[in-house]
Chains A and B, each alone.
Chain A
């Protein structure tokens, strides 16, 4: 292959017309593709990337939020548990206190009842003793009248009998069993 052949063959020719057509074709292809292909395709790709980034960000945020919520829930549960325990404890204490109080009050009532009964008995006893004394005076007078056979001056004799009765020891009356 000789050099003149290469030069004559024309593959190194630069045709101005072809440069022109290249420019025209390129500009047309560029305009059409930019309008109908690159624009929409790149916009879609951008949108997709934006959505993916957004989704990842949102997922991260939501996860953090969920973790925070979980922690809060756990803390709330622990609080509730502690409160319940406290409540139970307090209740028990209260119950104990109430029971003690009940017991004490019952005791007090019983004591009061006992006291009043005792008081009643003493009173009755006193009354009975007084009645008995009065009766014994009358009886003593009757007996004495019969014994002496004479009618005694009532007021003088009566004072005498009362003196006798007073001399009778009072301890016997208190030792009598309760009615």
Chain B
């Protein structure tokens, strides 16, 4: 029975997606290359950030709507170009059109599709966290599925990520930060899996912003645990001063590779899944064969389920690595204490 139902859904979905292909022959006459380009273009357009939100209505294309999101330009002191909001086609065009850049003196704070969905995710997160696991203060045990689910995840982050990687001394202190990182990324990842939404974490600027937060917190943790002098001393790698010209750039490079790895990993993972799904479905249009839906739609569904898993895994990996970096930063203190003790011992 269930198998029949799934087959039926797949068939309907396949036909619905294949429908545009059964239109007038004019499109069929176009070259395969051009069609391929248009599919790729469609996919890349879809996963890219944009100044507008497109509400697509399946099958009934004529009801599609495009909303231009608010624009905001802030003039910078070095600016030469006027920072007036763009109008008409210029405002809509998301690529190819030269928007005023930061180098030209305009900080583009316009709300984009990904900004919008980041805010929706943030709003949902705050709303859920303030209502679901927060309960009567006298009630020590969570009741109900959702409260238990959230509490289990929160305690997992605290025990398995924060305390295991940072240690019992500082672990609890950075737990709120790691919890925010974890749930913020998780909500953005999951929100991106819903129809008509966009994945904010599949954007380099968003993942970079998050990685910058982790970078700052890591440095802060290191300085706070070890003191500024020990922090600077650690940047020299603890070698003879003659080697400093080599060591210092290496250590500083090491500081930046960590957030860079965080940025690219999350971005690439979230983007790749979406592109794969789109391509599997796009195969129907590229090969112009509606029967292909019987293969691509189940495959796309499989990838979708994998994406669901990846949404959790990537949130976990980002948080785990953040905790690891903070733990390494905090460990600078112990490292130097040990060195100090050794020197002291040798003195005797």
Contact residues of A with B, CB < 8 Å?
A: 1, 5-6, 8-23, 25-30, 32-34, 36-42, 44-45, 47-48, 51
Interface SS of chain B: helix, strand, loop or mixed? helix
Q: Which residues of chain A have C-beta atoms less than 8 A from B130's C-beta? A: 32, 36-37
Contact A45 B155 (CB under 8 A): yes
CA separation between A30 and B216, bound complex, in Å? 14
Q: Which residues of chain B have C-beta atoms less than 8 A from A28's C-beta? A: 122
Instruction: List 28 A-B pairs, Cβ < 8 Å.
Output: A1-B36, A1-B37, A5-B40, A6-B44, A8-B95, A10-B94, A11-B48, A12-B204, A13-B204, A16-B102, A16-B107, A17-B112, A18-B112, A18-B115, A18-B206, A22-B209, A27-B213, A33-B176, A33-B179, A34-B180, A37-B126, A37-B130, A38-B154, A38-B175, A38-B176, A42-B158, A42-B175, A44-B140
Instruction: Give how many B residues have a beta carbon under 8 Å from the other chain's beta carbons.
Output: 59
Q: Is the CB of B13 closer than 8 A to any CB of chain A?
A: no
CB of B66, distance to nearest CB on chain A (Å): 17
Interface SS of chain A: helix, strand, loop or mixed? helix
CA separation between A41 and B175, bound complex, in Å? 12
CB of B42, distance to nearest CB on chain A (Å): 10
Q: Which residues of chain B have C-beta atoms less than 8 A from A18's C-beta? A: 49, 112, 114-115, 203, 205-206, 209
CA separation between A100 and B206, bound complex, in Å? 112
Known: A10-B94, A18-B49. 12 other contacts (CB 8 A): A5-B41, A5-B44, A11-B203, A15-B112, A16-B102, A16-B107, A16-B108, A18-B205, A20-B109, A33-B180, A36-B130, A51-B140
Q: State which of B49, B72, B118, B137 has its C-beta within 8 Å of the C-beta of A11.
A: B49
Q: State which of A11, A26, A32, A45 has its C-beta within 8 Å of the C-beta of B154.
A: A45
CB of B90, distance to nearest CB on chain A (Å): 15
Which of A22, A36, A40, A48 has most B Cβ within 10 Å?
A22
Contact residues of B with A, CB < 8 Å?
A: 36-37, 40-41, 44-45, 47-50, 72, 94-96, 102, 107-112, 114-115, 118-119, 122, 125-126, 129-130, 133-135, 137, 140-141, 151, 154-155, 158, 172, 175-177, 179-180, 183-184, 202-206, 208-210, 212-213, 271
Q: Which residues of chain A have C-beta atoms less than 8 A from B141's C-beta? A: 48
Q: State which of B40, B47, B122, B271 has its C-beta within 8 Å of the C-beta of A1.
A: B40
